[in-house]
Each structure stands twice: as C-alpha cells, then as structure tokens.
Chain A
Amino acid sequence: MTDVTESEIQERPQTPASDGCLSVRNLTTVFTTKRGTVAAVTDVNFDLRAGETLGIVGESGSGKSVTAMSILGLIPRPPGKVVSGEIRVDGKNLLALDRRSLRAASGSDVAMIFQDPMTSLNPVHRIGAQIAEGILAHQRRPSKADKEAARRRAVELLAAVGVPAPERRARQYPHELSGGMRQRVMIAMAMSCDPKVLIADEPTTALDATIQAQIMRLLREVQRRTNVGIMLITHDIGLVAQNVDRVMVMYAGRVVEMGTVEEVLGNPKHPYTVGLLRCTPSRLPADSVRRRLTPIHGLPPNPTDLPPGCSFAPRCELRGDRERCLLEQPELRPAPTDDHRSACHFLEEVTP
C-alpha cells in the first residue's frame, strides 16, 4: 500500500491538472451485505484527459459501473460507501464536497449516460422538459425567461445530436421514440451543461448493431466539438478497439492492466486481458488459429471471499505451481513503460 502512495506522489507532476480533467486516486468503494463487507472497487487510480476516451473493460461485477457511480455520488448509501480516495475534476475533489455542491457538480462537471435508454428516461414527462430540467437544475431560481431559454436550448441540443424534427420530438414522450433516438436524447441531456467528463456506461449494449455504430459516431463527434473526456464502460472489446485512446482492464474490483489501446489490445501484459481477447470473435479466416474462441475457465471470485494474492490466480493459465500468485497481491507496474502497466507478478512471461 505504501509503495503505491509513493509512486503516486512521483507520478502526479507528470499529469498536470490542466490536461487531466478527471483524476481518480485510491478509490475504494464497499457494500455492506448480510455476509459481510464487500469491496466492489479497491484502490483504483486513473486519469482522464480532456478530449480523450478511456475504455474500461471487464466482466460483470468487475467494478466498472461502481467506479462510475462513485464518481457521480450515485452509490446507494446504505449499503454502499466510498471509503477512501480522491476524485478530482479540474482540481475539485468530488468526494470532499457536501451534498449540495456534489449535486451542483453532477450534470455540469460530470454527466452520465446509461445502458438502457428505454428505462433511463422518465415515462411521464416530455423529452424537451427532461432535457431542460437538467439545465435548470444548475440555475438559481430560474425565471420565466430562463425556462423559455432552457426549452429552446433543449431543442437545439436535440438537433445537435441528430434528432430529426427536434421541435416536434421535444414535445413527445419517451415511449414515442425508438431506442436509438432515446439514446440520442440521453446524450443531448448529458451534454446540456457542457460537462468536462462524460461517463458512458455501456451506452450501446441495449441497441442493435447498426444503431450502435451511429451512437458511437455521435459520441466521437460530440467529443470533437466539445473536447469532453469520455469514460466508456463496456465489455465489448470491439467497441474499445475502435473508439478509445486508452484502456483500463478491471477484474474483481481492481485495475489489472492499463495502457494505450494499441499496447493493451496488441501486446497484452496481463493473463486476464489475454483471456478476454481470446474469447472475442474476430473476422480472421476460418483456418487461422486466432479464429477459435477460448473461454477463460472458472468463474470470477466471490467478492465476499477474495483470495489474499492475485484475484485472477485461480483461473490463470500462466501461474503453474507458483506460490507467489496466491500469497502476494500484485501491484500495477510498468510493462515496461509508464504508458502500459500491468498488475501481474510475471508480466514479462505473458504472451498474447
């Protein structure tokens, strides 16, 4: 633990506040359950720069969404609690804010779009009103003119995310829109206050493939226009390969590998990442070795009963009989540069 803190202190000057619009340090979030306290996210560190897209991948329960929810203060309390860490947006530590200031930051500094656009919009209010509500939530005692301006801005935002006939759409209810349209509405809503960070939690999982491509293109376009930093949470490696600058791989609540998308996907240095890539379908010809999908054997560990060493050790093909993996928790270390880091004791032996 002490090692990490020291390396961070050295690291901080390398990422000055100006280009690191979001920086997360030592984030640990726990949930209290009947069977004891479960760490959903343990000691997570990462930075997101303006205009950059960071992909967060990992299977269900690996802590991707909990990381995102911790940033926005959306962890239900109880049972959840952020027990330590720092989440800085433009130098402001969100975890140190009181409720009111955190509310002011949600939506304006950090905005989020969710997996299921079908249920993420309020069914009984009009689209336009829901977008305007986000704008007005950040104004003190909005006047009638402010409300009218917010309504007009909502229409503009709808037009900007490619919703045809925005005036008419703004007056419609969510059930009158298709899934893709609703996700566009969610993006418009998220961008309504010019956030610095946009968290997209599996934004395309509930949509079909052609719409997925449109939504991702829209996100890239929005990013180009506004220079927003995007945190893209997904379990779709293909989506990561095409849309992100850097990747963070999570397993059992910890970051196991992190680096540029080329490095992590092209030259993975953690056995879990290798396993993930092996079970991703590719478009290579049928006789290619990589065409065959190889599943990772076993199941993720029970979060109430994490092994003392590397959480991935029980499923790891690289481990062999080595005791160290079972006893000692591996820390993220350069593999071999600071731009590509892996939490494997034997990362030098990892081959794709």
Chain B
Amino acid sequence: MARYFLKLSGRLLLTLAVVSTAVFFLIRLTPGGPAVAMLGQDASPDAVARLNEKLGLTDPLLLQYWKFLAQLAQGSLGESLTNGLSVSETILGVLPHTLELAVAGLAIGMLGGITLGIVEAVWKDRSPDVVGRVLSLVGLSFPSFFVAVLLILFIALPLGLPTNGVAPFTEPGSNLQRVLLPALAMGIVSTAYTSRITRSLMVEIIGENHVRTARAKGVREGRVLVRHVLQPGSLPLVPIAGISFITLVGDAVLIETVFARPGLGSLMVSAMQARDYTTVQGCIIVITTVIVLVNAAVDALYHVLDPRTKTV
C-alpha cells in the first residue's frame, strides 16, 4: 500500500513537472501581455514597461521560472497578476462548482449512456437499437456548448429556470436548479459517447460462451443480463467513466462560459484573456492534479472489482 502511494506521488510529481514547465513557457510565448491587457491597446509604452517591471516580468525568463518553481515547491501558486489575490484561494473558491458540474454531467452521461447502450445491445438490430444509435449519432455531432444554447432557448426560458450563476451549497434546492441544465448539456453528449461504447461492449459479452452456459443452466433472462452480461461488462466501463470525467472537466470551460457560472473553466478563460500568467498556470496545475488523481482512483477501483488482477 505504501509503495502504491509512493508510486502514485512519483507519477503525480512527474506529470506536474512536465505540465507546469510547458504551460509556463507556452503562455509567455503568446502575443500581448498582462500589462497591455490591463492598460489597453492605447497605453503608452512607458506605462506598460513600468507595470511589467512592477509585475516582475522584466526579469530574465529563467529567473522567473526559478521563482515559479520555488513558489510551487512551497505549495503556493503565486498571486494573480491582475488583482493581486492569492491564486490558490481564488481557485479553491470556484473548484467545488466545477467539480459539482463535472460529477453531475458524469452521472447523467453514465446513467443515460449505460442504460441506452444496454437497451441497444439487448435489442440489437431491432427498432430500439436503430433509434438509439441514430440518437447517439445526433448527440455526438452536437458540441456541448451548442446543446447548452438549445437547452437555454427551449427549456430554461419557457420554464423560467435560471440560466446563469451558481448558488452556494448551503441552498441545495437553488444550487441543484442551477447545475441541472449545464450538467444536462454536458451529460447529453457524454450519454451519446458512453452508449456507443456500452453497446459494443455488451454485444460482445452477450455473444460470449459463459452467457450461453448461463442460459443452458436455465437462469432467468433478467438475471443472465445482470450477472453474466452487466457484471463482467462493468469492468471496462470503469476506465471509460474516468476518461469521460476528464473530458467533462475540459468541457466545463465552455459550458461555464455559456451559463456564466463561476468555475475553474470560466476563471481560466478570463485569465487567458487578461494574460494573467499565474492564474492560468494555477488552473492548469489544479486540473492536472485532478486528472492524475482520477486516473489513480480508476486504476484502484479496477483492481478491487476484477478478481483476475488481485494478487493471489
């Protein structure tokens, strides 16, 4: 167990080192800078230079990099270049909303996708399958932000549901109301994707010999489906859920913008626009950490669920 966590932290550190280095240099390669963004296109070069010096951006790049690493080693993500607030505090303030959105989207996507996929596999090549496959193709061809706009237009506005912002977790009713539509927008696309994978997985398992054995034993069809098709089939779905979650965290960037939700995504978008280097770096580092941890959780879950990977 201790070795497992040691390996995990090693992997996390390595990934973080690569990602943070890449994002540090790449973002500084983009044209413009925080000073220009803050002072506007018409600011005098003098003013820009003065602000740059104040922000420490006139130091040699490698020195800036060294300072960044030194800060990171102390567990600090630095201060925002635009408003001087602690980046980690800003991120921690919005992270729960993004995670809530991604988890809700994942729940909708997995629940809907697995159900649809099973229905398609059981009624393979018959009407439920054909309808389901057409629907999932439609879902896959709509980007989630477009689905979001449709949901606002055709569901939120006629029903008078809130279309922007978040509510604190202390008000669960209002909070859920505001997370439902954005999660649905992401969940629909995720449903389409998951249903495709689930269908092919289940079709394959239904054709396997052990399913025939179960039927030959006289096991009820419903039980065959649950114990002999779904249970072996749920194993490969675990990593699929992991991948979906990671995709959803990325999707959240767009969805949060459409629904004007404060979150990691919208924070990153505005930080990009303001060339707020430290905030962008902080967001990327946090997202990377989440991804590595989710992957580790998926691995661990797989080991627990699959008897074949247990060490005898």
Contact = CB atoms under 8 A, between A and B. Distances in A.
Interface of A: 72, 74, 99, 103-108, 111-112, 114, 116, 119-125, 133-134, 137-138, 173, 175-176, 186, 189, 193
Q: How many B residues touch the partner, as a band?
A: 20 to 34
Nearest to B235: A124
A134 B232 contact: no
Contacts of A134: 217-219
B209 interface: yes
Given A122-B232, A124-B231, A189 B217 contact: yes
B312 interface: yes
A119 B210 contact: yes
A137 B227 contact: no
B228 interface: yes
Nearest to B306: A124
Contacts of B218: 103-108, 134, 137-138, 193
A120 B227 contact: no
Nearest to B215: A74
Contact of B216 (A72, A138, A176): A72
B308 to A, nearest CB: 5
A33 B208 CA distance: 21
B150 to A, nearest CB: 38
B213 A186 contact: yes
A107 B307 CA distance: 27
A120 B217 contact: no
A173 B312 CA distance: 11
Contacts of A124: 231-232, 235, 306-307
Contacts of A121: 210, 213
A122 to B, nearest CB: 4
A344 B116 CA distance: 54
A106 B214 CA distance: 10
Given A114-B209, A173-B307, A176-B312, A123 B220 contact: no
Given A120-B209, A122-B231, 17 more contacts: A72-B216, A74-B215, A103-B219, A103-B220, A105-B218, A106-B215, A107-B216, A107-B218, A108-B218, A119-B210, A122-B210, A122-B213, A122-B214, A124-B307, A125-B227, A173-B308, A175-B307
Given A123-B232, A125-B231, A114 B213 contact: yes
Contacts of B214: 122, 133
Nearest to A105: B218
B212 interface: yes
Interface string B298-312: 000000001110001
A176 B312 CA distance: 9
26 contacts: A72-B215, A72-B216, A74-B215, A106-B218, A107-B217, A107-B218, A111-B216, A114-B212, A120-B210, A120-B212, A121-B210, A123-B307, A124-B235, A125-B231, A133-B214, A133-B227, A134-B218, A137-B217, A137-B218, A137-B219, A137-B220, A173-B307, A173-B308, A175-B308, A186-B213, A193-B218
A123 B308 contact: yes
A122 B228 contact: yes
A74 B220 contact: no
A94 to B, nearest CB: 12
Nearest to A69: B212
Contacts of B231: 122, 124-125
Contacts of B227: 122, 125, 133
A135 to B, nearest CB: 9
B307 to A, nearest CB: 4
Highest count of chain B CB atoms <10 Å: which of A108, A122, A175, A176: A122
A345 to B, nearest CB: 39
Nearest to A116: B209
A119 B216 contact: no
Contacts of B220: 103, 137
A255 to B, nearest CB: 23
Contacts of A107: 216-219
Nearest to B307: A173
Contacts of B215: 72, 74, 106
Contacts of A108: 218
Contact of B219 (A99, A112, A133, A176): A133
A116 B218 CA distance: 19
A93 B218 CA distance: 17
Contacts of B216: 72, 74, 106-107, 111-112, 114
Nearest to B310: A173
Nearest to A72: B216
A242 B228 CA distance: 36
Nearest to B211: A122
Contacts of A186: 213
Contact of A119 (B209, B217, B235): B209
Contacts of A189: 213, 217
Nearest to A129: B227
A285 to B, nearest CB: 42
B213 to A, nearest CB: 5
B210 A133 contact: no
A197 to B, nearest CB: 12
